[in-house]
Chain A
Amino acid sequence: MKKVFRSAFTALCALGVASAPLAAHAKQMHELRFGVDATYPPFESLSPSGAFQGFDIDLGKAICAELATKCVFVSQSFDGIIPALEARKFDAILSSMTVTPERAKQIAFSTEMYNEPTALIVRKGSGLKPTAESLKGKTVGVEAGTIQESYAKTYWEPMGVKVVSYPGQDQVYADLLSGRLDASLQDSVEADYGFLKTSRGADFQFGGDVTYDPKDVLGSYIAIGVRKDDPELLKKIDWAIAELHKKGIYKKIEAKYFTFDVYGAPPANSMN
């Protein structure tokens, strides 16, 4: 028993040190940790083997390559991603986050990564449109913490639309498929590539882009978020993004995922 106890104690101490290293290292960036909500294909998702993959992930890796640092991706649900950044669980947010005035009060944003409008997905033939009148009495799913959640809660919920928030975008789709939701609101490219173009999205279609936004809930473009007390990192990331464009790496990665210019003009949904 004595031995067991002693070895157990040593194991505990060893594990305590191993799992929570009070890492003392010289002041130099040796890794860049990105916070990611990996439920948002084709931008960020997990492969069956559990590896991070997607457009954002490839861009992140390219940025790390430019900065000659190690890249680490940390899983984090979207609704807690800004506090987690503030709590220094990672150094930057790389998760299709749109710049909004509200968020810019909390954190700093890099230059543009790409741009996409917000769109509604509905069941084929339902004829629902992204307006409060059309959706009255219906149930709309959104991911918690997104601009789409703010949008639906600002403009639609007071008008009698039932808005349900989920911890991850994949759960929104799961309930859209199962029929609990009548529609879901998210970024249009994500909706197109991550859902409609997959086998699961066969019965669904775009209900249209959201255009009405007098209170500017939807913000502007998508960027990397960094803590305000870390301007050095922001400078480095901005420089790396510029380099990616200059060297043509951005175009190369873009071509791997999209057939249109995801940086400039957002794709029109008129084709649907």
Chain B
Amino acid sequence: MFDLAGYGPQLLSGTVTTIELSLLSLLVSFLLGLLGATAKLSKHRIFKGVATIYTTIIRGVPDLVLMLLIFYSLQIWVNDFTGWLNNLQSTYSFGLQLDPFTSGTITLGFIYGAYFTETFRGAFLAVPKGQLEAARAFGMRSGLVFRRVLFPQMMRHALPGLGNNWQVILKATALVSIIGLSDVIKAAQAAGEATYRSFFFICIAGAVYLVLTILSNGVLMLLERKYAIGVRRAVL
């Protein structure tokens, strides 16, 4: 019954790819989210406008459509740019290849950066103003205020939303197999079509995702406990 028909290694390397892709996309979207939230809360009208347009468009257009758009079009723009570079000088020839993994990371990071922007915006607002004023009164520079006061406290408020976004990203990596990434789903599909046992192999892919979900739930609980240090809960 549990015969992988030689597809075991491919399934395993696909799983690793899925995990790598999710972690990298998380990192990109996390940073973009911080940037976006700062922009949205800034006093500059231009920053605010750009960030608002970004979050509105991203949340209005399906991720798969954006992914196809970026996977195929971004490469052409990049080529135009490197072609322009190559025309300027002829000693070197520049080239930049966007393989499915890179495009997937960029796209997922870009899309979920918008969701993170909203998460972080709410979390930033949840940090009491007095704390920031106190930090400034101590003579801290704004970088230090961010690092020592704003960020750690903001994280506590952002964690539930963050965890939610992570789960969504993890599942969204499934889409990248559609643009040709050899992830766990691609491996399961290939195995299923070759052996005519799709049901079995796709169940395996599903199980991999379930296990990843359970694992990340555990990690999130630990993180939540860490960031909740020093917070007094109401006893009901």
Q: Report B-chain residues with C-beta under 8 Å of the C-beta of A25.
A: 92-93, 95
User: With A and B bound together, what is the CA distance between A173 and B190 in angstroms?
Assistant: 12
Check A20 against B10 for contact (C-beta < 8 Å): no
Check A20 against B97 for contact (C-beta < 8 Å): yes
Check B193 against A170 for contact (C-beta < 8 Å): yes
Does A19 lie at the interface of the complex (its beta carbon under 8 Å from any beta carbon of B)?
A: yes
Instruction: Map CB proximity to B onto A83-94 as digits: 1 under 8 Å, 0 otherwise.
Output: 110111100000
Check A12 against B13 for contact (C-beta < 8 Å): no
Residues of A3-24 contacting chain B, CB below 8 A? 8, 11-12, 15, 19-24
Instruction: Map CB proximity to B onto A65-87 as digits: 1 under 8 Å, 0 otherwise.
Output: 00000000011110010011011
With contact pairs A48-B5, A49-B9, A76-B180 given, residues A87 and B79 touching in the complex (Cβ less than 8 Å)? yes
In the complex, which residue of chain A has the Cβ closest to the Cβ of B180?
Answer: A75
Check A2 against B147 for contact (C-beta < 8 Å): yes
Instruction: Give the interface residue-count category, chain B.
Output: 35 or more
Residues of B55-105 contacting chain A, CB below 8 A? 72, 75-76, 79, 82, 90, 92-99, 101-102, 105
Instruction: Map CB proximity to A onto B25-49 as digits: 1 under 8 Å, 0 otherwise.
Output: 0011001000000000000000000
In the complex, which residue of chain A has the Cβ closest to the Cβ of B105?
Answer: A19
Please give the distance in Å from A3's CB to the nearest CB on chain B.
12
Partner of A87 from the list B31, B75, B190, B194 (CB cut-off 8 Å) is: B75
Check A46 against B190 for contact (C-beta < 8 Å): yes
Does B139 lie at the interface of the complex (its beta carbon under 8 Å from any beta carbon of A)?
A: no
Q: Report B-chain residues with C-beta under 8 Å of the C-beta of A87.
A: 72, 75-76, 79
Please give the distance in Å from B149's CB to the nearest CB on chain A.
12
Q: Report A-chain residues with C-beta under 8 Å of the C-beta of B94.
A: 22-24
Check B96 against A200 for contact (C-beta < 8 Å): no
In the complex, which residue of chain A has the Cβ closest to the Cβ of B109?
Answer: A12
User: With A and B bound together, what is the CA distance between A149 and B3 in angstroms?
Assistant: 36
Q: Report A-chain residues with C-beta under 8 Å of the C-beta of B13.
A: 50
User: With A and B bound together, what is the CA distance between A88 and B95 in angstroms?
Assistant: 9
User: With A and B bound together, what is the CA distance between A50 and B194 in angstroms?
Assistant: 12
Q: Report B-chain residues with C-beta under 8 Å of the C-beta of A27.
A: 90, 92-93
User: With A and B bound together, what is the CA distance between A40 and B216 in angstroms?
Assistant: 38
Check A8 against B7 for contact (C-beta < 8 Å): no
In the complex, which residue of chain A has the Cβ closest to the Cβ of B93?
Answer: A27
Check B198 against A49 for contact (C-beta < 8 Å): no
Please give the distance in Å from A181's CB to the nearest CB on chain B.
14
* 3 A-B pairs with the lowest CB-CB distances in the bound complex, closest first: A48-B6, A87-B75, A24-B92
- Chain A: residues with CB nearer than 8 A to chain B? 1-2, 8, 11-12, 15, 19-27, 46, 48-50, 74-77, 80, 83-84, 86-89, 170-171, 173-174, 177, 200
**A-B contact list, 6 entries, CB within 8 Å:** A15-B24, A50-B10, A84-B72, A89-B97, A89-B98, A174-B196
- Besides A24-B94, A174-B198, 4 more A-B contacts (Cβ < 8 Å) are A21-B97, A23-B94, A23-B96, A89-B97
